Amino acid sequence: MQFSAKEDVEAPIDFVFEQLSDFQSFERSALRRGADVQRIDSKRNVGPGMAWDASFKLRGRTREVKLELTEYEPPNGMTLSSRSDAMGGHLRIDLVALSRGRTRMSLEIDLKPKTLSSRLLVQSLKLARSNLSKRFRTRVGEFAEDLEDRHKRQKNDAV
């Protein structure tokens, strides 16, 4: 099952990529939302091989997932792969510079069930696909607006 969204961001591609690869910020955000996230690799630099163990509640059950940064291509994009006992998936982020100050951000999530119960979960998600797709696009749009606000603040602070 796939979800995808595209948003144009009023910020340079380097800034957008820098914000998207601020993994510590995403870790803190997940912790604030009740997830447990732990970095499990020993890499000093950002790049392929970075990995996290995460656990969170979904539909009344605790889910455990391993995330790994599998592709890292500054400033054009990255891919994160996820694995759990029941499901696997990928998050692909692609960036395209539309101009010096404008970037197109494309996100695609692909979920692949491994077990019968996860197939039933994905089937129920497919029934609510239009609502979930709309919510996903809305969240990506809100994130793009947040990136624009951060860029404006950074620009104003530099002046």
d(CA 124, CA 3): 15
- Give the start-to-end residue ranges of the domains of the chain: 2-158
State pLDDT tens for residues 128-159: 999 999 999 999 999 999 999 999 999 888 77
* % of the chain exceeding 70 in pLDDT: 100
Instruction: Find, among 54, 20, 19, the residue nearest to 40 by Cα.
Output: 54
| E strands, the chain, in order | 2-9, 36-39, 51-58, 61-73, 77-83, 87-99, 102-113
State pLDDT tens for residues 49-82: 999 999 999 878 899 999 999 999 999 999 999 9
Q: What dotted CATH number matches 2-158?
A: 3.30.530.20
- Residues ≥6 apart with Cβ < 8 Å to 148: 9, 10, 11
